[in-house]
Structure 1
Amino acid sequence: MAAGPVLVVDFGAQYAQLIARRVREANVYSELVPHSMPVEEMLAKDPQAIILSGGPASVFEPGAPRIDKKLFEAGVPVLGICYGFQAMAYALGADVDKAALGEYGKTDTVIDKATGLLEGSPA
């Protein structure tokens, strides 16, 4: 029996198609689906994993795209990238703080080792 696809949920990122292509280049079937697709339809595709893309929105904006919490209760691994991670954290009830400046595009990463968040993970 073939494994289901990796679904790439498009939140409007310029690179959503690139994510799907990179997954395919790893010899894994992927499908790009709109964020507006009901979670039941996503899960009906029997995905082996789900990637939530980034996008230009902020979870603080009125009318910003949301993701149904049921997606995270289905037992399917989910990776959130940029806005996709914000949407995931927001849906799960985490505190999402607004930064002084919005970021869109390439940015530098700062790892704060004092938080302990990455403790025990490879350097």
Structure 2
Amino acid sequence: MDIIISNSDGRPIYEQISSQIKSKIMTGELNAGQMLPSMRLLAKELRISVITTKRAYEELERDGFIITMTGKGSFVAEKNTDLVREEYLKRIESHLNEIIRLSVSCDLSLKDIKDMLTLMYEEENNE
């Protein structure tokens, strides 16, 4: 599994792992029922502690993205459309917060932001 750990990313390693796995599940790169690498194997591939991969998997399970069966491994859970939508909404809100922060710092008006968003949205949907 391709997971990239970045030392320059401000997030903890377990969060980087869980975030990338969530993304792969949401985009369909990982499908329901698909087995994930064991915690030990993933830790070995990423050259990190098993404790870190365990924490990432625990977070994914808590959030409903994977299920773990003792002795069998961890598997991608059936997609819960509400859960996936909520995850997308969280990501959008995060990006919007960054947009607001940047626009305030360069004195961009709300109207300017709305105009930019409308234009970009229309371009994306017309392609």
Higher gyration radius (CA): 2
Scaled by the length of structure 2, the TM-score of the pair is: 0.27
Q: Which has the higher contact order (CA 8 A, sep 6+)?
A: 1
TM-score using structure 1 length: 0.28
Which one has a larger percent strand, Structure 1 or Structure 2?
Answer: 1
